[in-house]
Amino acid sequence: MKQLLIYALVASVVVFPSLECFPQTISPKETATAMLKEGMTKMQAYDMLSELTAIGPRLSGSENYEKAVKWAKAKMLSLGFENVRLNPAQIPHWVRGKTEFAEAVHGNGKKLPLTICSLGGSIPTPMNGITADVIEIHSFDELKKPGIAKGKIVFFNRPLDPTRLNTFEAYSDASEQRTKGPSQAAAAGAVAAIVRSMTLAHDDVPHTGSVMYDEKFPKIPAAAVSTNDADALSALLKERAAVHVTLKLDCQQLPDVASASVIGEIRGSQFSDQIVLIGGHLDSWDLGVGAHDDGAGCAHTLEALSIIKRLGLKPKRTIRAVLFANEENGLKGARAYTDSEAKVGKHIACIETDAGGFSPRGFTVADPVTLAKIQKWSDLFALAGAGEVTSGNPGADLLYLAKLGIPAIGFRPDSQRYFDYHHSTHDTLDKVHPRELELGAVAIAIMAYQLSENGL
């Protein structure tokens, strides 16, 4: 009690002290403000992201991914997290190979080199490649016309809708071309698929991402083409003479690898078996270094817990950081975590950060009852710029937990630039702004602590 009085006295002089012995009696607004001050003064998130991205790309199954696991575990230990451990998962091991070649040749002899990359999970072409006529498609319905794609390379070229304020909605509408397009094309007799990169930018780099083969149809090779070259190919096709494309890919699927997600926590001081989860994914695509996707989410997660620890807060419930394995091409980390951990402790809520490291705008909450509760805290999140609490789904890593009825919350930073970098060589550290990133960690710390203190 005497100690508490001293804390109260300290708090009255230095209003928001950054102390191990942070007083527990201050208001939620004072706590949130202290988190903001602590985060924006120390700015640790960007340093962590800098270390993580220095490892390089972190595709599941790669050596770099295993380095990232070691880094994450060591970082959690150095930050003083408790119960730091690995959560085993068998993860896929797809490798890009060295040959990624595509060239369009017009009937009049005009050649157009295409900047492409294999889609993640694609099968390779034969060594000499595939050469076939090309047909441009904007919707799967067009493939229903009998014979339209028979023996051809299908070129899916529906752009993201630029009029959607939330670029994730534009991505969500268009990305079926990449995930399902190759099998839809195969069902119509196509021999390969080329997909317009899933970005609103007009640029010269291809953006990869998973293809999800439907086992009912033959697997065909699939590549992404840069948006500028997609436009050029479309223009060539409008010249109304046959255009054929040669495509060569030597990517391959290797046997699964034993790997892990990484877990650490601050144990709850009153209800330690009740868990508030914060998570991002530790893997990335093999192009770029996954600075926004999802290095930023890892940095958010680590720094959110670290801010709470640095302030000496003692959350009532356990706040747990999970850096998931294999979000990009399998969700095996999320699956394994859910299978092994969902019933060990009671997850009262999960927060996912997998939408980049830009300025916070708010959170999405899937179910209306939880949404209504959390919206009452909007003014606290607004201290870090994250006051917009709206209806919506989190990311993929919470899919299985949400199916168990656990409230799932998505962190939502500004989305305008995200798909410029997403899944491409452009997703590098310099695209992340230190203050924007740190504000995200602060917003998530505020959310997690509110959930910890109040439950749901």
Residues that bind a copy of itself (CB under 8 A): 36-37, 40-41, 43, 162-163, 165, 167, 200, 359, 361, 383-385, 387-388, 414, 416-417, 420, 433, 435-436, 439
Tokens 């993860």 appear where? 91
Return d(Cα 396, Cα 416) in angstroms, integer: 20
Q: Least distance (Å) from a copy of itself to the CB of residue 39?
A: 8
Q: Which is nearer to a copy of itself, 267 or 417 (CB)?
A: 417
Return d(Cα 304, Cα 441) in angstroms, integer: 5
Tokens 């993929």 appear where? 396
Tokens 């500028």 appear where? 228
Task: Kindly report the backbone phi and psi dihedral angles of residue 296, in degrees, each rounded to the nearest multiple of 5, phi listed first.
Answer: -60, -45
Which residues pair with residue 249 across a beta bridge? Answer: 100
Q: Which is nearer to a copy of itself, 183 or 227 (CB)?
A: 227
Q: Residue 8 in 3-state DSSP?
A: helix
Return d(Cα 162, Cα 260) in angstroms, integer: 38
Q: Least distance (Å) from a copy of itself to the CB of residue 159?
A: 11
- Does the annotation mark 327 as catalytic? yes
Amino acid at 238: K
Beta-carbon-side half-sphere exposure of residue 202 (alpha carbons within 13 Å): 4
Return d(Cα 345, Cα 342) in angstroms, integer: 6
Q: Least distance (Å) from a copy of itself to the CB of residue 414?
A: 5
Q: Which is nearer to a copy of itself, 260 or 439 (CB)?
A: 439
Q: Residue 234 in 3-state DSSP?
A: helix
Q: Which is nearer to a copy of itself, 385 or 394 (CB)?
A: 385
Q: Which is nearer to a copy of itself, 46 or 155 (CB)?
A: 46
Q: Which of 136, 327, 436, 438 is catalytic?
A: 327
Q: Least distance (Å) from a copy of itself to the CB of residue 390?
A: 10
Return d(Cα 240, Cα 99) in angstroms, integer: 30
Q: Least distance (Å) from a copy of itself to the CB of residue 43?
A: 7
Q: What is the set of active-site residues? A: 327
